[in-house]
Every structure is written in structure tokens, then in C-alpha cells.
Amino acid sequence: MEQSRDGASARAFLEGLFHTAIAAAHPSVCLPAHLPQPTSGRVFVLAAGKAAGSMTEVAERHYLDEVGLAPNRLPGLAVTRHGYGRPTRMIEMLEAGHPVPDAAGLAAAERTLELAAQAVSDDLVLVLLSGGASANWIAPAPGVGFADKQAVTRALLRSGANIGEINTVRKHLSRIKGGRLALLAQPARVLTLAISDVPGDDPAVIGSGPTVPDPTTLSDAHAIVQRFRLDLPASIARALADPANETPKPDHPLFRSTEYRLVSRPADAFNAAQQAVRAAGYECILLGDRLEGEARTVAAEHARVALSMQAQGRRAVILSGGELTVTIHGQGRGGPNQEYALALAHALAGAPGIAALAGDTDGTDGGAGSAADPAGAIIDSGTLSRAQGLGLDPAKFLADNDSTGFFSRLGDLVETGPTCTNVNDFRAILVDIA
């Protein structure tokens, strides 16, 4: 009979899978093959999102060192989340707020729009896009104040709306999202190279689709506000009723001179993880890389799957990705991956031989927007007994949405720091013999 891993070995194995998935999606691996030859004019590099620093770093190295492009032909600007900047040489690197936008993101978006407007027909506008761009590029529609845009973001994040719904509203309150950046950059050629962080890899959702047509409408945005009963400033209601804020649609002629490529997807990260799982001698069960839903509900379902597999005597790793949500009712700290881990531990009730890790591949899960926020959490069969020894009640921490508080007391937070990439959530449940 094969021996099960002990707690320390199981945790090290799960952490190794997490880092394998992250490494497969890093721009240094996935971006170089997609960088195009320069045109006769300039290459405007406009980057935004959690991978903007590392993507820009790779692009600079390619054009300056490998292609030999003159520095004056490589203008641009990159903006990323605070703490995710990289030491670029020519292209200015800015850090801004996420998930709630700040004044730095407002300034970065205005400068990005100015640069895009300078491009002419001989130029290439190279947009390097990754998750987080929606908050990093903040350019409110006319009549919408910056504070009101922040209020919308906070309300949407607390509502339980998924990323597609959140971005539908954002796009109709912006001068840069929903295809408007491409509109401003014409007649230059626009090429977007994107790292996907959204379920289904929809270009219209990644970073709120600044360079692609928008299939959603003002009516869709208004319906989302109504469905989640969001209490929003009057300026937002006016903006969502103004036909001038409708986004360009797929039949718009501007998109004939644009191209969009996905350079890395959640599926790529999971392919690497699956290979590692099988190499370790486990059966690999991938539930999908685009799961959505309330974190604690999904966790309960996954606990049932894990217990069933163990009852069948199967040694396996259950993988899943996507973007879960948390409807906030409490006053605690945390994110969907930590809440998933806490709910999973609660549902497993200390079942021996089962351990799990849930983390965000960007290195931060929820939190207050700090680069020091945890990436996720890890659990095993001893999680609940150790919590009990410390006087911690998992149910109370769940009720207060305080998964960070729970796991920090146990020392079970996963803390990677900024990974400088982002292909969304990574979850792995190790099912071993009891």
C-alpha cells in the first residue's frame, strides 16, 4: 500500500504546485514569442494591470537589446498595482490603487490617453494588458466625479457581482474602457497582448476590454445596478442613462486595424500543474479553470467531491480555477481564496489525509490593496484541532468574513508577495489515503 504524505510534506507539495502554475504564466516565459517586429514608426507601449511591470520589462529588453530599436522610438507608460512595479529603463513605471482606484491611476489613465492620441498611421500601439487594468486605468466619463467612481467600485466589490458584471458597469462609466482606447489610437495599428485572469478568457472582460468591441450595453449596466440594489451617487445614474456613454460595438470600423492575442491563460497554468501532479504519482482531476460562484458554496461542493474520492480509495489532486466571489456581511478581512479555504476546512471537519491550498496567482487575495496582503491560505486535517486549541471558532470567522484573521492566528496564510503575473485563482485539494 502506498503511504500518504505527512502534513509538512503535503503542504510543501501543494505550495510547489502553486508556484509551478505561477511560473508557467510569467511574462518572461509567455510574452517574448508574441512581440511583433516594429513598424517604420514608433512603438508606443501602453501597459496596465498586475503584470504590467514585468510585461514592460520583457518588452523593453526585446526592443532595445534584441531588435536594437532606438530609444526615441519606444515611448510609453506602464501602470500597475502598488508594489508590483519593475525597474524599467525607458518606459515610465507608475504604481496605482487596486482594487479601488486612486489618484495615481487617474493620472496614469489621462497620460495613457494622451500618448495614444499622439500615434499616427506609421506607428504601432502595443497594449500590454493584464488583470487589474480596470482599476489601474481610471478615466471617468464626463459628469462622473472621481469619488463617485471609487464609490461604484466599492459597492460592486461588496455586492457579490462577478467580474463580468463589474466590468460591464465600469465600461459604461469610462473614457478608456470598452474599446475607447483603440478608438483614440486610430489610425495607428493597435496590437493587444493580454494575460487572461477571467473565466472564459473573454477579451471584452479582461481589463474591461479597452481595445476590443463591447457587446454589453448601457441597459445591461443599469440592470446590474438594479439587480444588486446598489445605492450609487446620482451622477452614476445620469451617466448610465446617457446615450453618449454607449461603447463601440463589434461592427465599428475602427476594429479592422486592431489585433488581440492572448499570451497566457489560466489553462496554461493548470496544464503545468497537471503535469506536476501526474509526475508525483497522483490521479489529477481538473474541475475547470473558469469556476464562478460564492466561495463558501463552492468549497462545500468540493469537500463532498474530496470525501467521495477518498472513500473510493483514490489518491488524487483536485484542481480548479476561475474567480469566486464573496458577498460581504461581516467586518473582517480576507478574500475569496481564504474564505474558500476556511469554508473547506469547516466542511471537511478534520478528515484525515486531505489537505488543500487556495491562492490568487497574482500574490494577493482580497485585502486592503497592499502588496503585503496574503495570496491565500492552506489547510490540512489538523487545521480545526489547532484552531480549537487556540479558542478559534471557524463558523464565527466565516460569519464575519474574517478568513485572514483566522489563518493569520494559525500561521497558515500563503504569502508570496507580488508575482508580477495574474491568471486568477488556483485551488488544489490533495486527497490521500486516510
| 387 located within any domain | yes
| 340 located within any domain | yes
pLDDT in tens, 378-433: 999 999 999 999 999 999 999 999 999 999 999 999 999 999 999 999 999 999 98
Burial class (CB in 10 A: 0-12, 13-18, 19+), 111: middle
H or E, element range at 116: helix 103-118
Residue 336 maps to which CATH number? 3.40.1480.10
Do both 256 and 271 map to the same domain? no
Max CA pair span of the chain = 69
DSSP class of residue 3? P
| 163 located within any domain | no
Q: Which residues pair with 329 in a beta bridge?
A: none
Angle 4-5-11 from CA coordinates, rounded to 5°: 145
Mean pLDDT throughout 85-102? 94
| 329 located within any domain | yes
Per-position DSSP letters for 11-45, written without gaps between them: HHHHHHHHHHHHHHT-HHHHSGGGPPPP-SS-EEE
How many structural domains does the chain have?
Answer: 2
For residue 265, the model assigns a pLDDT of: 97
Do both 17 and 57 map to the same domain? no
In 3D space, the residue among 149, 195, 196, 188 whose CA is nearest the CA of residue 172 turns out to be 149
Alpha helices in 128-244 (DSSP H): 133-136, 146-159, 163-171, 180-185, 218-227, 234-240
pLDDT at 120 > cutoff 80: yes
| 381 located within any domain | yes
pLDDT at 3 > cutoff 70: no
Do both 20 and 52 map to the same domain? no
Do both 260 and 379 map to the same domain? no
| 167 located within any domain | no
What whole-number distance in Å separates Cα of residue 268 and Cα of residue 22? 10
What whole-number distance in Å separates Cα of residue 283 and Cα of residue 248? 46
Q: Encode 270-299: b = buried (16+ Cβ within 10 Å), e = exposed.
A: bebbbebbeeeebebbbbebbbbbbbbebb
pLDDT at 244 > cutoff 50: yes
Which residue is listed with cell 456581511?
329
pLDDT at 203 > cutoff 90: yes
pLDDT in tens, 359-385: 999 999 987 778 899 999 999 999 999
| CB 50 within 8 Å of CB 78 | no
Do both 253 and 361 map to the same domain? no
pLDDT at 2 > cutoff 70: no
Do both 305 and 395 map to the same domain? yes
Do both 316 and 382 map to the same domain? yes
For residue 367, the model assigns a pLDDT of: 73
Q: Which residues pair with 425 in a beta bridge?
A: 322, 360
Mean pLDDT throughout 1-21? 84
pLDDT in tens, 68-77: 999 999 999 9
For residue 199, the model assigns a pLDDT of: 85
Do both 208 and 329 map to the same domain? no
- How would you classify the pairing of strands 413-414 and 376-379? antiparallel
What whole-number distance in Å separates Cα of residue 70 and Cα of residue 134? 31
pLDDT at 357 > cutoff 90: yes
Per-position DSSP letters for 332-350, written without gaps between them: ----HHHHHHHHHHHHHTT
Residue that finishes a domain, picked among 264, 293, 326: 264
Which residue is listed with cell 446615450?
243
| CB 360 within 8 Å of CB 377 | no
Query: End-to-end alpha-carbon separation of the chain, Å?
Result: 12
Q: How confident is the model at residue 195 (pLDDT cuts 50, 70, 90)?
A: very high
Do both 20 and 90 map to the same domain? no
Do both 367 and 388 map to the same domain? yes
Cell numbers for 134, please give them.
Answer: 480596470
pLDDT at 1 > cutoff 70: no
Residue 186 maps to which CATH number? 3.40.50.10180
Do both 417 and 287 map to the same domain? yes
| 160 located within any domain | no
**Three-class DSSP category at 8:** helix
Do both 196 and 130 map to the same domain? yes
| 235 located within any domain | no
Q: Could you tell me the residue range of the domain that residue 333 belongs to?
A: 7-24+267-431
For residue 4, the model assigns a pLDDT of: 63
**Count of CB atoms situated within 10 Å of the CB of 307:** 16
